[in-house]
């Protein structure tokens, strides 16, 4: 379960996340962020209450971060996962308009997986 508390004031939307960002909750968070984007608000996420994030949750957080959302009180495990792709390499983002790119999130899937060479 994920609790999302809205602490929006003026142009700044602050969403406080508590619990597990997994499964259907990833879509719920995406919709909450998109609703604030439509209103032209700057997005900040307080991640201090996250206890677990699955692969889809990390993909969404990476996308939001790459689209200029700010993270407040980000746990070390979340920060580490957001800095790497599924293959362990650093992830880079160049998008600037997170509101328009968030609508395309369903089309993007992380390319996770481990490459293994065959022993010969």
Q: pLDDT tens digits, residue range 45-78?
A: 999 999 999 999 999 999 898 878 899 998 998 8
**What SS3 class is residue 34?**
helix
What is the model's pLDDT at position 92?
A: 47
Q: Residue 77: which region, alpha, beta or left (left: phi > 0; alpha: psi -120 to 50)?
A: alpha
- DSSP letter, residue 49: E
pLDDT above 70: residue 104: no
pLDDT digits 0-9 by tens, 5-49: 999 888 888 999 999 999 999 999 999 998 888 888 889 999 999
What the block records as the tokens of 120 is: 């010969």
Contact 52, 78 (CB under 8 A): no
CA-based R_g, the chain, Å: 15
**Domain 2-91 classification at class level:** alpha beta
**Non-local CB neighbours of 90 within 8 Å, separated by 6+ positions:** 83, 84
Tell me the C-alpha distance between 111 and 75, whole Å: 23
pLDDT above 80: residue 89: no
């Amino acid at each position: 379960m994920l609790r999302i508390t809205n602490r929006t004031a003026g142009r700044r939307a602050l969403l406080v996340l508590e619990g597990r960002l997994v499964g259907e909750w990833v879509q719920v968070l995406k919709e909450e962020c998109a609703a604030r984007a439509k209103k032209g608000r700057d997005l900040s996420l307080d991640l201090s209450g996250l206890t677990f994030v699955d692969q889809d949750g990390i993909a969404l957080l990476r996308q939001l971060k790459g689209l200029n959302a700010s993270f407040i009180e980000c746990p070390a495990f979340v920060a580490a996962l957001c800095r790497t792709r599924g293959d362990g390499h650093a992830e880079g983002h160049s998008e600037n308009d997170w509101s328009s790119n968030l609508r395309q999130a369903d089309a993007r899937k992380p390319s996770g997986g481990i490459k293994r060479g065959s022993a010969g």
